[in-house]
């Protein structure tokens, strides 16, 4: 080897980050499981330092907050269903690399449509007519709300991230405006429970469980979305556009049409989530009805690598941490900031584990050879 070649090899970095080939599923999930275990250990130290409590007892209270009673289990499943539905909604757009940050507003505006139908038609139409009308209204307004930024992106190449983000605030202001006319009781600045006596527009309970219909609907959507993205022509076009718009155009895909169609679907599913929130869960509307799930759904979708089936697991993990953190604050009379710290640590490790799924660290051995002429 020449002196120049040896010198080049000796000056190469000792530590290199190398992209992995695709890991088999059990290895990738093993990395994530190790990250969660390490996060729990770190959280244990934090718990002892901040509170002096036994970490095992704290973790037991997290389990109790999620599975401690039948009511808590159903509340967890209901929360999981709504978060999963919104996550499914943003997934097609994200897979297309259209950064839809507007799921919060799209869901809220869908919920507003459901509330309007309940207020104006809840006591005059039979449930067999009212509920399909509400669902159609929610889907339509959600589609419109999703199409607006898509049209501007497709035709004027606007920044979809800022556009969809700003539309969240527009949706909130529209809801605030409507609350002024719908407030009950007067001057309360709240709508209150809509049709409390007649339950007009409320989704019916199945087998005595009021959240079961929500869960079934989202389960069907999950399976349908998996099939749509994996096996349909539209799903293939979404993948191609996400990989390269130029390639998509070269093989004859109408990119503008795909962008608008995909965002219409995304908005429609957000509208369904709004329908389930208002008609099946809260039976009211306010600016905090979605409660930040539109943003949490982004993390759920990303962690699952846009796989609707895997998304069920990531959504459950997020809901478990959220409900468990609330139980910690209640059971141990701690400031909610402590539970938020624990949740943040766990999520940090989970997100960080994706680096080790995608990349590996290669450490070069130190060469003992001199440079030869």
Domain that holds residue 274: 74-321
pLDDT greater at residue 105 or residue 327: 105
Statement: residue 369 has pLDDT above 50: no
Q: Would you say 216 and 206 are in contact if contact means Cβ atoms under 8 Å apart? A: yes
Q: In this structure, is the dihedral angle defined by the CA atoms of residues 274, 280, 283 and 289, taken in order, positive or negative? A: negative
Distance CA 136, CA 224 (A): 18
Q: Reply yes or no: is the peptide bond before residue 281 cis, omega within 30 of 0.
A: no
Instruction: Decide if 345 is inside a domain.
Output: no
Output the pTM of the full model. Answer: 0.89
Left if phi > 0, otherwise alpha if psi is -120 to 50, otherwise beta: which for 305? left
Q: Which of 309, 234, 313 is nearest to 266 (CA)?
A: 234
Instruction: Decide if 112 is inside a domain.
Output: yes
Q: What was the pLDDT predicted at 367?
A: 45
Instruction: Decide if 192 is inside a domain.
Output: yes
Distance CA 122, CA 90 (A): 30
Instruction: Decide if 20 is inside a domain.
Output: no
Instruction: Decide if 218 is inside a domain.
Output: yes
pLDDT, tens digit (0-9, with 9 covering 90-100), for 264-303: 999 999 999 999 999 999 999 999 999 999 999 999 999 8
Tokens of residue 22, six digits: 């695709």
Statement: residue 338 has pLDDT above 80: no
CATH code (residue 97):
1.10.3470.10
Instruction: Decide if 3 is inside a domain.
Output: no
Give the percent of the chain with pLDDT over 90: 64
Instruction: Decide if 88 is inside a domain.
Output: yes
Instruction: Decide if 19 is inside a domain.
Output: no
Count of domains in the chain? 1
């Amino acid at each position: 080897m020449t002196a120049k070649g040896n010198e080049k090899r000796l000056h190469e970095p000792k530590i290199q980050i190398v992209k992995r080939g695709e890991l088999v599923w059990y290895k990738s999930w093993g990395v994530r499981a190790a990250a969660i275990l390490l996060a729990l250990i770190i959280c244990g130290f934090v718990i002892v330092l901040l509170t002096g409590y036994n970490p095992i007892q704290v973790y037991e209270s997290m389990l109790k907050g999620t599975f401690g009673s039948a009511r808590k289990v159903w509340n967890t499943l209901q929360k999981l269903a709504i978060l999963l539905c919104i996550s499914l909604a943003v997934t097609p757009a994200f897979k297309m690399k259209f950064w839809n940050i507007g799921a919060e507003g799209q869901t809220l505006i869908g919920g507003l449509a459901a509330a309007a139908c309940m207020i104006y038609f809840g006591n005059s139409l039979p449930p067999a007519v009212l509920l399909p009308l509400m669902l159609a209204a929610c889907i339509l307004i959600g589609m419109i709300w999703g199409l607006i930024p898509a049209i501007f992106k497709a035709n004027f190449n606007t920044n979809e991230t800022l556009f969809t983000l700003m539309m969240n605030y527009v949706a909130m202001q529209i809801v605030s405006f409507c609350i002024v006319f719908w407030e009950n009781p007067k001057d309360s600045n709240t709508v209150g429970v809509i049709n409390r006596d007649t339950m007009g527009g409320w989704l019916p309970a199945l087998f005595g469980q009021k959240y079961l219909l929500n869960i079934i609907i989202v389960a069907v959507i999950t399976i349908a979305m998996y099939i749509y993205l994996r096996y349909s022509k539209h799903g293939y076009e979404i993948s191609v556009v996400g990989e390269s718009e130029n390639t998509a155009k070269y093989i004859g895909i109408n990119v503008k049409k795909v962008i608008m169609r995909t965002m219409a679907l995304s908005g429609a599913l957000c509208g369904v989530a709004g329908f389930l929130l208002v008609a099946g869960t809260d039976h009211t509307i306010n600016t905090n009805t979605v409660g930040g799930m539109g943003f949490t759904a982004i993390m759920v979708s990303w962690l699952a690598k846009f796989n609707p089936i895997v998304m069920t697991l990531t959504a459950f993990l997020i809901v478990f941490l959220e409900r468990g953190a609330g139980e910690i604050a209640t059971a141990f009379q701690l400031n909610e900031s402590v539970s938020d710290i624990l949740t943040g640590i766990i999520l940090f490790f989970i997100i960080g584990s994706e680096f080790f799924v995608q990349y590996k660290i290669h450490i070069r051995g130190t060469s003992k050879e001199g440079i030869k002429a």
